[in-house]
Homo-oligomer: A and B are copies of this chain.
Amino acid sequence: MIRPARPGDVPVIHRLIRELAEYEQEPKAVVSTEADLHAALFSAHPAVFAHIAEHTENEGGGTTVAGFALWFRNFSTWTGTHGIYLEDLYVRPELRGRGYGKALLAELAAICVDRGYSRLEWSVLDWNKPAIDFYRSLGAVPMDGWTVFRLTADDLTALGTG
């Protein structure tokens, strides 16, 4: 049901990234192209990875992509190990409630266990209560007291070239 993404999955992953951005109320934020995704996921030494949840349409029938997880390795200087940061997790609305989201998270947790990684982390919009309740049910805890800061665009360029 869960498998690593293949190059042929890039168009559907790209479509689902746009669907997720619409759900997050940022439909115009996606400026990435399929070529960008292909280059990042399938380079000689990729630093970003994706897994696919595959839905079997019917007995003996074909399969369709139900959702995806896109992730990279983070690192903890406290534990001295890598972990996984889950950048995007998305299941198509019409295929929700079938366990695909949990199966994708479980696959990443299994990778952590296999490799001795210490942490599986991701970010949630504070208004997304159904997601937060689900994550808490798995034992995930919010990193209260910490805030992520981001430097982009002209301010990033100014600091980097100043």
Contact = CB atoms under 8 A, between A and B. Distances in A.
Copies assembled? 2
B30 A77 contact: yes
Number of contact residues on A: which range applies?
35 or more
A56 interface: no
Interface stretch (A1-9, A58-66, A109-117): A109-117
Nearest to A29: B78
Nearest to A48: B75
Interface in A89-137: 105-106, 109-114, 118-127, 132, 135
Interface in A18-68: 20-21, 26, 29-33, 36-37, 40, 45, 47-48
Contacts of A33: 80
A155 B126 contact: no
29 contacts: A29-B78, A30-B78, A32-B80, A32-B81, A40-B75, A47-B73, A48-B73, A48-B75, A48-B82, A70-B75, A72-B74, A106-B162, A110-B160, A114-B160, A120-B159, A121-B150, A122-B149, A123-B146, A124-B149, A126-B147, A127-B145, A132-B149, A135-B149, A138-B151, A138-B159, A139-B158, A140-B149, A142-B148, A143-B148
